[in-house]
Structure 1
Amino acid sequence: MGLLDGILGNAGEVEIEKLEKELAEIIIEGEKIESGYNVLRDYFVFTDKRLILVDKQGVTGKKIEYHTIPYKNIRHFSIESAGTFDRDAELKLWTAGLTEPIEKKFGKKSSDILKIQRTLANYILK
């Protein structure tokens, strides 16, 4: 992910090994990380059981909020691919208990939005 993508809030894919180390105390026994994406310091992770949103707070980023969304609580979602002039792809998730969607932007070259759609569909539509 380039610096400009980060500044614009676009997400880029994170290596699974790095996520496994950072989330070692969060992931439960038998849970498998499928993929993860970061936006500057924050990131979100798809496992075979849930979606984890990680929000690093403060100047140092030592304070961290881990927000878990079980796939069963995602009511619907949408993706929008990047276009010629619109350089980013978007993901929107509507969850139980929230009226507004959770939105994430992805850089045109930094990720495969269709892979994300397949991952969500695989777990939500079971």
Structure 2
Amino acid sequence: MRQILLVTVPRVLLGLLFLVSAVDGFWWLATGAHLIHPPTSERGVAFETALQNAGFFWPLLKTVNLAGALSLLLNIVPAFGLALLAPVMTVIVLFHLVINPQGIPVAIILVVLGSLLVWAYRERYAGLFR
């Protein structure tokens, strides 16, 4: 039961969050419109628009989101999927803390879920710190 609450639930929830983000991002690439519209400040919209207008960055970001999400959801090398998503989660958390405070609840969710998974997979990351 502990395994389910501390590993499986956070893994699936984080995977779903990033899967939705990837689908929305690819939908925007195909249609120019978003499927979801979270509350975003004026500076937040400017930041997102800059990422989209960079050309290469938005498809790269959404591909990383998709790969990490599928890794977590399918439980195939989930520690690697989390490692792929960690830099993205860091930027999302900082984005909400600095530019878009309406999204702080999302940032808190990412920190909690990510922290639970980092702890669960800590032995897999140990080699990085030797």
| Bigger Rg, which one | 2
**Which TM-score applies when normalising by structure 2?**
0.28
**Which has more helix, going by share of residues?**
2
**Which TM-score applies when normalising by structure 1?**
0.29
Q: Whose RCO is larger (CA < 8 A, sep 6+)?
A: 2
